[in-house]
Amino acid sequence: MYLTHILFISLALFFLGVYGFLTRRNLITMLMAVELMLNSVNLNFIAFNKYVWPGRLDGVFFTIFIIAIAAAEAAVAIAIIINLYRSFKSIDVEDADTLRY
Amino acid sequence: MKAQEIVFYSLAALTIGSGLLAVTTRMIFRAAIFLLFSLIGIAGIYFWLEYEFIAAVQIIIYVGGIVVLIIFSIFLTQQAGTKLPPALEARKIFSGLACLAGFMLSWLLVKEHSFAASTVPPADTGVSSIGTMMLDVHKDGMALPFEVVSILLLAAMIGCIVIAMKTKT
């Protein structure tokens, strides 16, 4: 059955996203890792809709709304990153330490 | 092996391989391009599953919108061609172990569970039925979440402008 194979892909993508989020220290690459995780969730919704619940379209709608929210999130995150670059001249998370002490 | 399986496994290899390279390469611009290929692979899987509308949305929004936005912000904030500093070895090892453990646990759960194959006739996934359901206000309609998402997009747009606006000094 293809469902478990698709779940394998989405699991692999999700944990690749987690790995990237934990190891990267650059804000843009961390944002890319978050996008990978969101995509794996979308793939899960579509696969379950196709193979387990094909009579309805709920997974499709969830995916559409998640994509819309991901677009909004990416836009806000990049606005914050560019603003951060203006104040610190760097987008490394270690450099933005004003609130740390 | 049938042609269908070959297409599926090559799309899976494209998605996972370029996803792996996107989180491990040290050139940030290459990471963005590998992310692009990973997203295209996922769009291909949507096409393979015969959800053409979702595949088109994926290509338009992710490939055409978000990745282009990410590349723009790389050009604004980074000198092209410089390498990222390497991650600490301990951090790499421990996050790799944590991800591997989580992956194995979830994969065991997925493998143990036998998903019941559905016998329901598949619903129409064309654009017209999705559009009709999205603006429907009756029992299964999605009009309320649609409006909530439109308000969220408006709020995000105003928020982006306010955050990125230069304050007059």
Average pLDDT, chain A: 89
Residue B107, pLDDT > 90, answer yes
Query: What percent of chain A shows pLDDT beyond 70?
Result: 100
Output the pLDDT for position B103: 94
Output the pLDDT for position A86: 86
CA distances from A51 to A9, A45, B50, B133 (A): 15, 10, 12, 21
Query: What percent of chain B shows pLDDT beyond 90?
Result: 48
Partner residues linked to A92 by β-bridges? A26
Overall average pLDDT of the A4-9 stretch: 92
- In CATH, what class is B1-88? mainly alpha
- In CATH, what class is A2-88? mainly alpha
Partner residues linked to B27 by β-bridges? B83
Residues sharing a CB contact under 8 Å with residue B43, sequence separation 6 or more, in sequence order: B55, B58, B59, B62, B63
Question: CA-CA distance, B153 to B148, in Å (whole number)?
Answer: 9
Residue B80, pLDDT > 80, answer no
**How many CB atoms are located within 10 Å of the residue B50 CB?**
11
Residue B166, pLDDT > 80, answer no
In this complex, the residue of A25, A56, A82 whose CB is nearest that of residue B87 is A25
Output the pLDDT for position B121: 82
Question: CA-CA distance, A13 to A38, in Å (whole number)?
Answer: 9
Are A23 and B87 in contact (CB < 8 Å)? yes
What confidence tens digit (pLDDT) does each residue in B44-56 have?
999 999 899 999 9
What confidence tens digit (pLDDT) does each residue in A48-82 have?
998 888 888 888 999 999 999 999 999 999 998 88
Residue B81, pLDDT > 70, answer no
* Boundaries of every domain in chain B: 1-88, 124-169
* pLDDT band at B169; cut points 50, 70, 90: low
Nearest CA in chain B to A85: B77
Output the pLDDT for position B2: 86
Are B125 and A57 in contact (CB < 8 Å)? yes
In this complex, the residue of A39, A51, A72 whose CB is nearest that of residue B118 is A51
Whether B166 and A83 have beta carbons less than 8 Å apart is answered as no
Overall average pLDDT of the B115-131 stretch: 82
Question: CA-CA distance, A55 to A47, in Å (whole number)?
Answer: 13
Q: Which residues of chain B does A73 touch, with a Cβ-Cβ cutoff of 8 Å? A: 156
Output the pLDDT for position A18: 94
Question: CA-CA distance, A47 to B128, in Å (whole number)?
Answer: 21
In this complex, the residue of A2, A7, A35 whose CB is nearest that of residue B110 is A7
Average pLDDT, chain B: 88
Residue A12, pLDDT > 90, answer yes
State whether residue A54 sits within 8 Å of chain B by CB.
yes
* Boundaries of every domain in chain A: 2-88
Q: What share of chain B is helix, strand, coil (3-state, %, to 5)?
A: 75, 0, 25
A with B: how many residue pairs have Cβ under 8 Å apart?
210
Nearest CA in chain A to B45: A43
Overall average pLDDT of the B70-75 stretch: 90
* pLDDT band at A101; cut points 50, 70, 90: confident
Overall average pLDDT of the A13-24 stretch: 93
Mutate to test the interface with B, among A4, A13, A23 (most CBs of B within 10 A): A23
- Least confident residue range of B11-15, B17-21, B82-86, B98-102: B82-86
A90 to chain B, minimum CA–CA distance in Å?
7
